[in-house]
């Protein structure tokens, strides 16, 4: 078993990887002097997602171990790097390239990701899948869900390691989408750009070197993953950055002796292109659209983001901008509300685009009138309530005073000094009696 694993490990060290793409669109034809042996390939700008070159970019292909790009992305998203992962007997016994894990061993998820991406350990892939989802099958469902959410709709994954299966496939374009998303995750980018890593623990030293030869001999290389099976051939996902420009290339169905030459030639082609030109600036006013039922008659429509495109001299006159927004907008509108899209086409091929948003809030006339009426009514009720409470307070005070006064009068009349203990004679009777006398 150990000898077989070593043979697979050495074979995997010579394989190539698949690259990402964020916009599934037709690419440029092969320039003179660029003749790739890979059956399918694609080159994109990592920042803009623009396709710079494509060869059978939508062809269904076996990804081999470049599958692990998606495995690592799902693991980082669903797990915690400091998780302790128990290596099962099934994971330990998996065929193919190995990280020499031991049954019952409990490495951290972070260390397993290095074991997954540098030596391309199938045992690490299985252990990760079982830890995250409970089984390799359940983890594959997570992989397909993530791929679909990234727009990789022409792929289907059955396992986390990439061993051959007729129902396990992707395309250079789909894998490009997946990889582009993964490279935006700092933990992922750090791992795939690492040249060597020693996995702690175990009964033997496990010092792994990255199978991606570009990290060693191509200026600016940053990743990503190699792969190989007899049926898939060599596959490679490659990435590099120079002078602020980042490129990603995907190769599938290549020959082991040609994969690295193909990678360097295609990357060189991309870096030799003229720098991208800005075709739309974030916040740029693209249009003004009439607003129905609003307090203002028009609303400015702005680009939510910017876009840079690789364009040759002859491309500029042929570049077409297509603005997709309604002829009128209905109030109310919120500032920043998405209202449309602007796309750029070159000879019928979509190169990219940006969302369009309302540049200012627009209140509806009816809404503002009733809002004002409601505010007036609330204020009037508040004033009326204060008046009623004040009057009620005054009346209550007067009532209390009058009640007290009446009680005092009654008490005085009943007292011996003012009461009727002696015969009561009215005053006029007293006066009459005195006059009569």
Q: Please give the positions annotated as active site.
A: 65, 68, 120
How far is the C-alpha of 282 from the C-alpha of 163, rounded, in Å? Answer: 44
Q: Phi/psi of residue 253, each to 5°?
A: 65, 40
The strand pairing partners of 340, in sequence order, are 356
- Six-digit token pair at 85? 């992962």
- Six-digit token pair at 196? 């060597």
Q: With contact defined as beta carbons under 8 Å apart, do 69 and 157 qualify?
A: no
How many C-beta neighbours within 10 Å does residue 2 have? 9
How far is the C-alpha of 111 from the C-alpha of 199, rounded, in Å? Answer: 7
How far is the C-alpha of 136 from the C-alpha of 126, rounded, in Å? Answer: 6
* Residue where the block lists tokens 């037709």: 26
* Helix, strand, coil percentages in the chain from 3-state DSSP, rounded to 5: 40, 25, 40
Q: Check residue 87 and report its DSSP letter.
A: P
How far is the C-alpha of 155 from the C-alpha of 148, rounded, in Å? Answer: 8
Coil/strand/helix, residue 217: helix
Q: Phi/psi of residue 120, each to 5°?
A: 65, 45
How far is the C-alpha of 78 from the C-alpha of 142, rounded, in Å? Answer: 9
How far is the C-alpha of 102 from the C-alpha of 124, rounded, in Å? Answer: 10
How far is the C-alpha of 370 from the C-alpha of 45, rounded, in Å? Answer: 52
- In 122-187, DSSP assigns E strands to none
Nearest Cα neighbor of 76 from 161, 174, 134, 142 is 142
């Amino acid at each position: 078993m150990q000898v077989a694993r070593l043979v697979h490990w050495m074979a995997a060290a010579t394989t190539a990887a698949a690259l990402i793409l964020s916009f599934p669109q037709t690419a440029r034809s092969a320039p003179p002097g660029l003749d790739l042996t890979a059956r399918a390939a694609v080159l994109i700008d990592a920042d803009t997602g623009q396709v710079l070159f494509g060869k059978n970019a939508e062809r269904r292909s076996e990804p081999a171990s470049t599958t692990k790009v998606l495995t690592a992305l799902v693991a980082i998203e669903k797990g915690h790097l400091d998780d302790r992962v128990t290596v099962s007997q099934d994971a330990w016994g998996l065929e193919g390239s190995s990280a020499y894990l031991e049954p019952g061993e409990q490495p951290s998820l972070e260390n397993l990701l290095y074991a997954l991406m540098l030596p391309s350990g199938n045992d690490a892939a299985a252990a990760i899948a079982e830890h995250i989802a409970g089984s390799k099958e359940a983890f594959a469902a997570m992989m397909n869900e993530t791929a679909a959410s990234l727009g990789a709709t022409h792929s289907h994954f059955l396992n986390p390691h990439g061993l051959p299966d007729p129902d396990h496939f992707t395309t250079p374009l789909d894998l490009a989408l997946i990889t582009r998303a993964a490279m935006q995750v700092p933990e992922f980018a750090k791992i795939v750009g690492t040249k060597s890593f020693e996995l702690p623990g175990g009964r033997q030293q496990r010092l792994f070197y990255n199978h991606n030869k570009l990290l060693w001999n191509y200026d600016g290389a940053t990743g990503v993953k190699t792969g190989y099976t007899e049926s898939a051939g060599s596959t490679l996902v490659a990435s590099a950055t120079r002078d602020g420009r980042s490129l990603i290339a995907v190769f599938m169905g290549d020959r082991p002796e040609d994969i690295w030459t193909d990678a360097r030639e295609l990357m060189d082609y991309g870096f030799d292109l003229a720098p991208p030109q800005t075709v739309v600036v974030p916040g740029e006013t693209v249009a003004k659209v009439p607003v129905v039922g609003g307090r203002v008659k028009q609303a400015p429509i702005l680009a939510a983001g910017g876009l840079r495109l690789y364009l040759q001299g002859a491309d500029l006159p042929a570049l077409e901008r297509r603005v997709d927004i309604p002829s009128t907008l209905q109030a109310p509108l919120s500032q920043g509300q998405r209202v449309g899209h602007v796309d750029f086409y070159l000879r019928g091929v979509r190169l990219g685009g940006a969302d369009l948003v309302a540049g200012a809030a627009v209140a509806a006339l009816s809404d503002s009138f009733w809002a004002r009426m409601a505010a007036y009514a609330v204020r009037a009720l508040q004033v009326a309530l204060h008046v009623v409470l004040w009057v009620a307070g005054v009346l209550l005070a007067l009532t209390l005073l009058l009640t007290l006064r009446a009680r005092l009068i009654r008490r005085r009349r009943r007292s011996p000094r003012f009461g009727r203990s002696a015969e009561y004679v009215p005053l006029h009777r007293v006066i009459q009696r005195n006059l009569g006398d």
